[in-house]
Chain A
Amino acid sequence: MSHYPDALARLVQEFMRLPGIGPKTAQRLAFFVLRMEERDVLALASALADAKRKIQRCQVCYNLADAQPCRICSDPRRDSSILCVVEEANDLIAMEKTRTYAGLYHVLEGCLSPLEGIGPETLRLPELLKRVKAGGTKEVILATNPTVEGEATAMYVARLLKPLGLKVTRIARGIPVGGDLEYTDEATLARALEGRRDM
């Protein structure tokens, strides 16, 4: 880095901390910043600092939020009798983009991974049980990923919740919209057949 001026070397180093950014990309980004208008650079810096300072976990659902509770938890139009359990906050965003779900969420902040030694104690499970036991919840939708880890998490959560007498459901798995049966793998097709419904 000795061939860079100090301030530029620091900027390249900071970019290199980001995931997927190597020295070449970091250098390209740093040179781009140097060409930007000063007000745009300040806006970027302030956005970074603001996000770090203001974004926190909602103490009800553990979604990322800038207020307590988050906008979803405090929205009176939401159906508080349905809880959708997701692994991470970005899964919640994906669910929200569907515009078909009007209930509340619970973010587990991870998933079980027996082979990595990630057990239930690392997830927001006590908080989920507390919410459900507080009353008002009629259905819990398990929307963890259809991976081995996601399935393990869904089964584990279902086992915890079933004794409470709630309706516990799992999101359907099958052929993606716009998919082609010929190119669908056997495992997915088998799931789609199992999950068929009346028309």
Chain B
Amino acid sequence: MPSYKADGIILKARDFGESDRILTILDRSLGKLEAVAKGTRRTQSVLRGPCQPFSHNLFFLWQGRTLDGVSECEIVESFAPLRDDLLKLAAASYMVELVDDIARDQDPNPDIFDLTLEHFRRLEAAEPTPANVNHILRSFDLRLLGLAGFSPSLDACATCGQPVGLWAGVGAVAFSPVAGGVVCPACRAVSAGDGEEGQGDTPGPVVILLAAGTLATMRHLATATTEQARILRLTPRAAKEMERALRAHILYHLDRQLKSLDFLDSVLE
């Protein structure tokens, strides 16, 4: 039976049959793949410990006809603290759900793999406070959207392309998930949907108002390195506005609400 190696992060592990689990693995060079870990729910299984969600492992896999299988597994980074704290667990669940939705099967994207690892490390090391978790998640959202090609337009009007510097003053700027970023007052005035409430067939709010400082912070975070993002201070107002804008943007592009969001919100309270 042909076999191969994978260096991957476990995004999901769902029960299968009597004692097996099907793992969704994000591999650096193979992309997203699924493999069965046989007998992993049994107490004696040596795969039980390493085959936990969020764990970064070196996998030895066999090729099956319909589904590949894990024959051996070695932990590279277990990320146990992400499973031992409720807030970190909720945040990591949100991150892997987003990656799982965005990453395509067997379409390698090493940047998404590295970004996930970097943010897992940040989350692992962070003091588990709602402010820290929100900070990490917003940086993750912006950079992941960029890598996936869904980056919101933050430098120019998403509708007419006029640079922000030409029309944005010191007041609030409108962010439209439908348009795909910030919109200038002229485009906002001519668009049919203008209000903070959801309208028509579009899920979520039509326009979210961002303070000038929030927009500047988002622009910085979208291109910042993990270290630059880490030292950036977020005001509670900027954090809230970014959360609303990015959640609406993600909801519009994925066309579904992430399942982990309710749980994340319940532990962030």
Question: In the complex the two chains form, is B266's CB within 8 Å of A120's CB?
Answer: yes
B259 / chain A contacts, CB cutoff of 8 Å:
114-117
Among A179, A184, A186: residue with most chain B CB under 10 A: A186
Known contacts A186-B50, A187-B75; A115 and B97 CB within 8 A of each other: yes
Q: Count A-B pairs with CB separation below 8 Å.
A: 75
A63–B78 alpha-carbon span in the complex (Å): 35
Question: In the complex the two chains form, is A148's CB within 8 Å of B52's CB?
Answer: yes
Choose, from B41-49, B160-168, B175-183, the stretch at the interface.
Answer: B41-49
Closest chain B CB from A168 CB (angstroms):
14
B44 / chain A contacts, CB cutoff of 8 Å:
176, 179
Question: In the complex the two chains form, is B46's CB within 8 Å of A183's CB?
Answer: yes
- Check A151 for interface membership: any CB of B closer than 8 A: yes
Choose, from B62-70, B88-96, B131-139, B195-203, the stretch at the interface.
Answer: B88-96
- Check B53 for interface membership: any CB of A closer than 8 A: yes
- Check A119 for interface membership: any CB of B closer than 8 A: yes
| Residue ID in chain B nearest A177 by CB atoms | B43
B52 / chain A contacts, CB cutoff of 8 Å:
147-148, 187
Question: In the complex the two chains form, is B264's CB within 8 Å of A187's CB?
Answer: no
Partner of B260 from the list A117, A159, A185, A187 (CB cut-off 8 Å) is A117
Interface string of B72-112 (1 = CB under 8 A from A): 00010010100111100110011011000000000000000
B13 / chain A contacts, CB cutoff of 8 Å:
148
A49–B116 alpha-carbon span in the complex (Å): 52
A179 / chain B contacts, CB cutoff of 8 Å:
44
A184–B43 alpha-carbon span in the complex (Å): 11
B84 / chain A contacts, CB cutoff of 8 Å:
151, 155
| Residue ID in chain B nearest A183 by CB atoms | B46
Closest chain B CB from A110 CB (angstroms):
13
Question: In the complex the two chains form, is A156's CB within 8 Å of B49's CB?
Answer: no
The bracket for how many chain B residues form the interface is 35 or more
Question: In the complex the two chains form, is B18's CB within 8 Å of A20's CB?
Answer: yes
| Residue ID in chain A nearest B87 by CB atoms | A155
- Check A190 for interface membership: any CB of B closer than 8 A: yes
A42–B113 alpha-carbon span in the complex (Å): 59
33-64 of chain B: CB within 8 A of chain A: 43-44, 46-50, 52-55
- Check B263 for interface membership: any CB of A closer than 8 A: yes
- Check B249 for interface membership: any CB of A closer than 8 A: no
B55 / chain A contacts, CB cutoff of 8 Å:
187
A156 / chain B contacts, CB cutoff of 8 Å:
86, 267
- Check B188 for interface membership: any CB of A closer than 8 A: no
Question: In the complex the two chains form, is A155's CB within 8 Å of B89's CB?
Answer: yes
Closest chain A CB from B79 CB (angstroms):
10
Question: In the complex the two chains form, is B18's CB within 8 Å of A185's CB?
Answer: no
114-159 of chain A: CB within 8 A of chain B: 114-117, 119-120, 147-148, 151-152, 155-156, 159
| Residue ID in chain A nearest B85 by CB atoms | A155
Closest chain A CB from B226 CB (angstroms):
24
Question: In the complex the two chains form, is B89's CB within 8 Å of A185's CB?
Answer: no
Known contacts A112-B263, A115-B259, A185-B75; A152 and B46 CB within 8 A of each other: no
Question: In the complex the two chains form, is A119's CB within 8 Å of B262's CB?
Answer: yes
- Check A90 for interface membership: any CB of B closer than 8 A: no
Question: In the complex the two chains form, is B49's CB within 8 Å of A188's CB?
Answer: yes
11-48 of chain A: CB within 8 A of chain B: 20
Question: In the complex the two chains form, is A187's CB within 8 Å of B50's CB?
Answer: yes
Known contacts A120-B266, A187-B52, A188-B48; A159 and B89 CB within 8 A of each other: no
Question: In the complex the two chains form, is B266's CB within 8 Å of A119's CB?
Answer: yes
- Check B12 for interface membership: any CB of A closer than 8 A: yes
Question: In the complex the two chains form, is B266's CB within 8 Å of A148's CB?
Answer: no
Closest chain A CB from B210 CB (angstroms):
28
Question: In the complex the two chains form, is B46's CB within 8 Å of A115's CB?
Answer: no
| Subset of 14 A-B contacts with CB under 8 Å | A114-B93, A148-B13, A148-B54, A148-B83, A152-B90, A156-B267, A176-B43, A183-B46, A185-B47, A185-B75, A186-B50, A186-B75, A187-B52, A190-B80
List 15 other contacts, CB 8 Å, given A114-B89, A155-B89. A112-B263, A114-B263, A115-B53, A115-B93, A115-B97, A116-B259, A147-B52, A148-B52, A151-B89, A156-B86, A185-B47, A185-B48, A185-B75, A187-B55, A187-B80
Q: Which residues of A contact B (CB under 8 A)?
A: 20, 112, 114-117, 119-120, 147-148, 151-152, 155-156, 159, 176, 179, 183-188, 190
